[in-house]
Amino acid sequence: MPKIRTHKGTQKRFRLSGTGKLLRRGAFQSHMLEHKSAKRKRGYAQMHAVDKGSAKSVRRNAPYLKG
């Protein structure tokens, strides 16, 4: 049986938490940061859990994803 190819873009953008949840980087933190509050920017900097609907496609693209 052949191995499944990992989508390298997906592998670079996601990682696993210690409990096995998929984590992603927060959006909205690359530009126009002057008018955003420090609290808001700190929230964007956190890793966020991937919702269940998207997690299925992420796991299909990166089956050997590690933490």
Measured CA to CA, the distance from residue 30 to residue 2 in angstroms comes to 39
- Whether the per-residue pLDDT at 6 is higher than 90: the answer is yes
Kindly report whether the global pTM for this prediction surpasses the value 0.95.
no
Within a domain: 2: no
**What is residue 60's predicted lDDT score, i.e. its pLDDT?**
94
The pLDDT assigned to 13 comes to 95
Domain-located, residue 45: yes
Separation in Å, CA 39 to CA 3, 5, 12, 33, 42:
44, 40, 27, 12, 5
- Backbone φ and ψ for 60, nearest 5 degrees, come out as -70, -40
Question: Is residue 33 one of the residues assigned to a domain?
Answer: yes
CATH for 41: 4.10.410.60
Domain annotation covers residue 26: yes
Count of the separate structural domains present in the chain: 1
